[in-house]
Structure 1
Amino acid sequence: MTANVVVCGTGFGRVYLRALEAGGPDAPRGAGDLRLTGVLARGSERSRACAERADVPLYTDPGQLPADTDIAVVAVYAGVNGGPGSELARQLMERGVHVLQEGPLHHDELAESLRVARRAGVVFRVSTHYVRVEPVRRFIAAARRLTARRPVLYADAACGLQVFYHLFDILRLALGGLRPWSFEDARPTPVFHTLTGTVRDVPLTLRVQNQLNPSDPDNHAHLLHRITLGTDGGSLTLSDTHGPLLWSPRPHFPSEERSLTRLEEAASGHLDHAATTPLGDAAAPSYREVVGRLWPDAALRALTELHEAVREGHHPLAEGHAQLAVSHAWRDAAVRLGPPELTDATAVRPIGAGELAGELEVPRCT
């Protein structure tokens, strides 16, 4: 069953437009059943260019959408960010259109959208995007394998304010849930604010870059996500949202080495484990590959999951409780974090690794 898809918004919506262009051999099963049939936007030059490049009509009012529209991607800021995204999503659902909406969503506006979905009998999903990006998916899979073997003793994470909401869905999937959670008031420091608390009874330390440039809100983050889950057997670290994923066995020096003249002659097999091993690709992709492949792949995966739920007749609220938990935990943490520092920082040129690589002379420790 082919689904006609309209993409609403051409900011992050461009990732969905790219996703629907071609699929390819690595596309998730069912991706070929999605057909882009239009772009809904305000009619800017960028929106006109996007629709023209995709060879689909540009609509500037929801009332213009064809009656055979099956799915809408709402990649428009929701009310929590001062945008009309949730209002648009509800308007579309009331017309019988299934909706995939980009987060974040405030707990109350999400609850209302779920009620509308139930009344209209449509599927509504909130996309936290990064949980479907390939290195994060690998992290979640490895975390589940790890937690099946050893309990998690601590979680340590850092993120930019722009992706603070999304972090909670990554933790939810990695730990098997979020409840119960609790947070202490943040400890402000320059650039980052530090939150401590627990998630699913796991002690959590979280550093958030609590800064925002109102004129350029999508930029100026020092990082997206960095997460470590620690067990008594070692630690699993997602060094960046886009990898690499690293495993570090817990350092342990056997008691037998106390009687040896050379530490490396101890018979313990764990001394042969690498101190750190990449799980998957050892190097992260370029940002050109991130925005051109990884992000569209993740967007296409979210769309195919929604379409599969529609085909299989899932209840409109099938994932509602999980989505509400993410929004609720994020809200509680945000209250403890406090309002962001508004900055007028100007963009600077990022430094490539090539500028630091080469013959690096180690300074003397004197």
Structure 2
Amino acid sequence: MSLAADVGRRLRVVVCGSTFGQFYLAALAGLADAFEVVGVLARGSERSVACARRAGVPLYTDPGALPADVDVACVVVRSGMMGGAGSELARTLLGRGVHVLQEQPVHHDDLAACLREARRRGVTYRLGDLYVRLPAVRRFIAATRALLDRQAPLYVDAACSVQVAFPLVHILAEALGVLRPWRIAAAPGIGEEPFTTLTGAIGGVPLTMRVQNEVDPVDPDNHLHLLHRITIGTEGGALTLTDTHGPVTWSPRLHIPDVVKNAFDFTGERTAHLGEPSTTVLGPQAPPSYRSILAEIWPAAIGRDLLALRDAITGDRTGAAARTEQLHLTLSRMWQDTTAQLGYPALRPRRVHRPLNVEDLVAAVAGVEAEAHGVESGVR
């Protein structure tokens, strides 16, 4: 078993889990210079067999049967808090001297236990979170930091589905650069609404969070009303991540100067800001398709996590690693605070996916535009 890796050679990787694990396999396929996939560890279902066949690697159903020369394991199995055996498997592999990248979320105590086992065996354990590495999220984080260098935050308004509550907290932490003081509490509701409202503060900034706390027990990864939507407000306006995959927008706060209120003069002193667009898209105007997101963008983001793990294995594992570990422990605690306030998700079985042709909406808007053009033509 390799306890440390030579900088110049490929790391031998096994992917544990064949559902979301397929995204890890896609990521690894694009990093063939740095990693070599040597197996898939799963329960042996038809999906697992087919997954290993597509990857061209053996399928293992017992961790004890893995080759002795495995360097890295990607544990893409639900953690104990989510009803799976991911955390137990991670500790087992760490105990064998294997470096581990485990998909979030992970209970604080399980995370701490894995970190202790990693230190005991002299290997690296990292928590993976592809969402903070997505292009639109990275743009939002960069824009937020630039904004907060100039103006203090007044509020955070955020929404997500319960399945991605951990990444929401992680995105806020990266964007704001501060976590404490942190407090969160559920607001009263009638019990039937799809979103539960939470209020509190993050880094001392007032926080409102709405979470779709619903799950289809048969199909828990689908039927989400949204992934993430975040607005950070300042005196100058609001910066918004409209969706996890963009776009990122800036909306200056409306301020009507006295010269407009008193004389309807839009050219006078202190009216220059009125010439700015009411909303500006920061970055690409059109977000990507879901096909591109799933086939290309998510694997690329996971690839960033994998390369960060490789850097931690082959490089300095002191200061930077300790800061990352402490951040993840804090995020895990904050995520648990959030889910404790939410309570158990409402079960909504037998949900049905009904795609809508966007052209129907485009046509409706085109009618409004045509009507507006006709009115303008009539005025002239």
Q: Shared fold by TM > 0.5?
A: yes
User: Which residue is 1:232 aligned to?
Assistant: 235
User: Which residue is 1:208 aligned to?
Assistant: 211
User: Which residue is 2:27 aligned to?
Assistant: 19
Q: Is the 8 A contact 1:257 1:266 kept in 2?
A: no
Instruction: Tell me whether 1:342 sits opposite 2:347 in the alignment.
Output: yes
Q: Give the one of 316, 320, 341 matched to 1:313.
A: 316
- 3-state DSSP of counterpart to 2:301: helix
Calculate the aligned-residue CA RMSD, in Å.
1.8
Instruction: Tell me whether 1:330 sits opposite 2:331 in the alignment.
Output: no
Moved more, 190-199 or 135-144: 135-144
* Counterpart AA for 1:334: T
Matches within 5 A, 1:131-210: 131-189=132-190, 190-210=193-213
Looking at structure 1, the residues matched to 265 and 151 of structure 2 have their Cα atoms a distance apart, in angstroms, of 32
Q: Give the one of 220, 225, 228 matched to 2:223.
A: 220
* Counterpart AA for 2:324: E
CA shift digits 1:275-304 (9 cap, x unpaired): 111111111111111101110011101000
CA shift digits 1:192-245 (9 cap, x unpaired): 110000000010000001111111111111000000000111111000011111
Q: Is the 8 A contact 1:143 1:175 kept in 2?
A: yes
User: Which residue is 1:273 aligned to?
Assistant: 276
5+ long unaligned stretches in structure 1: 24-30
Looking at structure 2, the residues matched to 100 and 9 of structure 1 have their Cα atoms a distance apart, in angstroms, of 13
How many Å apart are 1:266 and its aligned residue? 6.2
* Counterpart AA for 1:339: Y
- 3-state DSSP of counterpart to 2:305: helix
CA shift digits 1:32-60 (9 cap, x unpaired): 31222211111111111111111112111
Moved more, 76-85 or 122-131: 122-131
Instruction: Tell me whether 1:6 sits opposite 2:14 in the alignment.
Output: yes
Moved more, 252-261 or 202-211: 252-261
5+ long unaligned stretches in structure 2: 1-7, 372-380
- 3-state DSSP of counterpart to 1:296: helix
| TM-score normalised per structure 1 | 0.93
Identical residues among aligned pairs (%): 51
- 3-state DSSP of counterpart to 1:228: strand
Looking at structure 1, the residues matched to 182 and 330 of structure 2 have their Cα atoms a distance apart, in angstroms, of 10
Matches within 5 A, 1:24-35: 32-35=33-36
User: Which residue is 2:3 aligned to?
Assistant: none
User: Which residue is 2:83 aligned to?
Assistant: 82
CA distance 1:267–1:149, change in 2 (3 Å): closer
Looking at structure 2, the residues matched to 186 and 305 of structure 1 have their Cα atoms a distance apart, in angstroms, of 39
How many Å apart are 1:5 and its aligned residue? 1.3
Q: Is the 8 A contact 2:161 2:228 kept in 1?
A: yes
Of structures 1 and 2, the larger Rg is shown by: 2
Looking at structure 2, the residues matched to 6 and 341 of structure 1 have their Cα atoms a distance apart, in angstroms, of 35
How many Å apart are 1:248 and its aligned residue? 0.9
Q: Is the 8 A contact 2:186 2:196 kept in 1?
A: no
How many Å apart are 1:15 and its aligned residue? 0.4
Instruction: Tell me whether 1:303 sits opposite 2:302 in the alignment.
Output: no
Q: Is the 8 A contact 1:260 1:266 kept in 2?
A: no
Q: Is the 8 A contact 1:114 1:317 kept in 2?
A: no
| TM-score normalised per structure 2 | 0.90
Q: Is the 8 A contact 2:108 2:332 kept in 1?
A: yes
Looking at structure 1, the residues matched to 328 and 17 of structure 2 have their Cα atoms a distance apart, in angstroms, of 22
Looking at structure 1, the residues matched to 49 and 268 of structure 2 have their Cα atoms a distance apart, in angstroms, of 69
User: Which residue is 2:5 aligned to?
Assistant: none
Looking at structure 2, the residues matched to 74 and 173 of structure 1 have their Cα atoms a distance apart, in angstroms, of 24
User: Which residue is 1:98 aligned to?
Assistant: 99
Matches within 5 A, 1:101-112: 101-112=102-113
* Counterpart AA for 1:146: L
* Counterpart AA for 1:275: S
How many Å apart are 1:145 and its aligned residue? 1.3
- 3-state DSSP of counterpart to 1:319: helix
Looking at structure 2, the residues matched to 228 and 7 of structure 1 have their Cα atoms a distance apart, in angstroms, of 36
Looking at structure 1, the residues matched to 177 and 93 of structure 2 have their Cα atoms a distance apart, in angstroms, of 32
Moved more, 254-263 or 144-153: 254-263
- 3-state DSSP of counterpart to 1:350: coil
